[in-house]
Amino acid sequence: MAHGRRDDYDHDTSRRSRDSKTRKKESDHWMQHAVKKEGSFTAQANRAKMSVPAFTNEVLSDPTKFSMTTRRRANLAKTFAKNRP
């Protein structure tokens, strides 16, 4: 060991860079796996007699009136709307 460096330093950095490449591939497709119950937020919006964007704005404007699950769904709907082609 020279100058306080570990002998396996080069090995660790190569593994770290390989893992980050793998993580990047996985993170590219996170939206495909983000929805747990498909159509549930739309159903909530329909029960409130609103469109999905209107219901999203309603939930995010006063989040204390809604459950944490609904708030998370609204935030996800907002994210999906931003990333639409």
5-63 residue pLDDT tens: 555 555 555 555 555 555 556 566 777 888 888 899 999 999 999 999 999 999 999 99
Supply 48's token pair: 């409130």
- Distance from chain centroid for Cα 55: 20
Q: Is residue 55 part of a domain?
A: yes
The pLDDT value given to residue 4? 58
The pLDDT value given to residue 29? 78
Q: Is residue 16 part of a domain?
A: no
Query: Domain range holding 50?
Result: 38-85
Dihedral sign for Cα atoms in the order 67, 70, 72, 75: negative
8: which DSSP letter? T
The pLDDT value given to residue 72? 95
How many domains in the chain? 1
Residue pair 54/47 in contact (Cβ under 8 Å)? The answer is: no
Residue pair 76/35 in contact (Cβ under 8 Å)? The answer is: yes
